[in-house]
Structure 1
Amino acid sequence: MGKSYLIGAISQTLQNAASPQRSPLLLLAPTRVVAFNIGASTIHYKLRIPIKEFSELQGTRLTTFQEEISHIKYILIDEMSFLGEMLLENIDSRLRQAFLENSHKIFEGISMILVGDLAQLPPVKDRVAYESKRCARILWEEFKTIVTLRRIFRQDGQSNEQERFRLLLTNIRDANPTIDDWMLLMSRSNGNMSIATNDEFENSVHLFSTNDNVHTHSKRKLYSLKNPIARSIAVKTKTLSSIEGDGNDEFDMELLLRKYARVMLTSNLWIEAGLVNGALGYIRSIVYRPGSAPPLPPSYVLVDFDGYSGIPFDDRHPQRVPIPTIDKASTK
Structure 2
Amino acid sequence: MEKHTEPLHLFITGGAGTGKSHLIKCIQYEATRILAQTSENPDDLTVLLTAPTGTAAFNIHGLTIHSALGIFKTLSPDHATLSEDKINSLRTKLENLQILIIDEISMVNKKLLFFVHERLRQVKKRPDKCLFGGVSVIAVGDFYQLPPVKTKRVDKLYVDDPSNPSNQLWNGLFEIAELDEIMRQREDGLFAELLNRLRVKQKNESLTLFDKRTLTHCFGDGPDEALHIYSTNAEVDNFNKEMIMKLCTESKLIEAQDFQKDKTSGKLTLKKESIAQSQMYVFQYLSFWPREQE
Q: Does 1:13 align with 2:56?
A: no
Q: 1:81 touches 1:118 (CA, 8 Å); kept in 2?
A: yes
Q: 1:85 touches 1:136 (CA, 8 Å); kept in 2?
A: yes
C-alpha distance 226-34 of structure 1, shift in aligned 2 (>3 A): same
Find the partner of 2:122 among 97, 100, 103.
97
Q: 2:75 touches 2:112 (CA, 8 Å); kept in 1?
A: no
Q: Does 1:129 align with 2:154?
A: no
Q: Does 1:26 align with 2:61?
A: no
Q: 1:102 touches 1:109 (CA, 8 Å); kept in 2?
A: no
Q: Does 1:113 align with 2:143?
A: no
Q: List runs of 5+ in structure 2 lacking aligned partners.
A: 1-17, 37-41, 262-274
Find the partner of 1:181 among 198, 205, 211.
211
The secondary structure found in structure 1 opposite 2:177 is: coil
Q: Distance in 1 between matches of 2:129 and 2:209?
A: 52
The secondary structure found in structure 2 opposite 1:147 is: strand
Q: Deviations over 1:137-184 (max 9, x none)?
A: 221125332112222110102xxxx23212211111111543321222
Q: 1:81 touches 1:123 (CA, 8 Å); kept in 2?
A: yes
Find the partner of 1:154 among 166, 179, 184.
184
Give the match for residue 138 of structure 1.
168
**CA apart distance, 1:10:** 1.0
Output the TM-score relative to the length of structure 2: 0.72
**CA apart distance, 1:13:** 1.3
Q: Distance in 2 between matches of 1:50 and 1:207?
A: 35
Q: Distance in 2 between matches of 1:64 and 1:23?
A: 14
Superposed CA RMSD in Å reads 2.9
Find the partner of 1:214 among 225, 236, 259.
236
Alignment of 1:130-279 (within 5 A): 130-131=158-159, 133=161, 134-157=164-187, 162-175=188-201, 177-190=207-220, 198-200=221-223, 202-237=224-259, 253-258=278-283
**CA apart distance, 1:286:** 6.8
The residue type paired with residue 225 of structure 1 is L
Alignment of 1:296-315 (within 5 A): none
Q: 1:130 touches 1:136 (CA, 8 Å); kept in 2?
A: no
Q: Distance in 1 between matches of 2:69 and 2:210?
A: 46
**CA apart distance, 1:101:** 3.0
How many equivalent residue pairs? 244
C-alpha distance 98-189 of structure 1, shift in aligned 2 (>3 A): same
Output the TM-score relative to the length of structure 1: 0.64
C-alpha distance 206-199 of structure 1, shift in aligned 2 (>3 A): closer
Q: 1:62 touches 1:98 (CA, 8 Å); kept in 2?
A: yes
The secondary structure found in structure 1 opposite 2:29 is: helix
Q: 1:230 touches 1:256 (CA, 8 Å); kept in 2?
A: yes
**CA apart distance, 1:70:** 0.8
**CA apart distance, 1:23:** 4.2
Q: 2:51 touches 2:104 (CA, 8 Å); kept in 1?
A: yes
Q: Distance in 1 between matches of 2:129 and 2:103?
A: 26
Q: Does 1:81 align with 2:111?
A: no
Q: Distance in 1 between matches of 2:102 and 2:57?
A: 9
**CA apart distance, 1:187:** 1.8
Q: Distance in 1 between matches of 2:222 and 2:158?
A: 44
Q: 1:129 touches 1:136 (CA, 8 Å); kept in 2?
A: no
**CA apart distance, 1:232:** 3.8
Find the partner of 1:63 among 82, 85, 88.
88
Q: Deviations over 1:202-234 (max 9, x none)?
A: 133433333333322222222222234343444
Identity of aligned residues (%): 28
Q: 1:171 touches 1:178 (CA, 8 Å); kept in 2?
A: no
Q: List runs of 5+ in structure 1 lacking aligned partners.
A: 191-197, 240-248, 262-283, 288-332
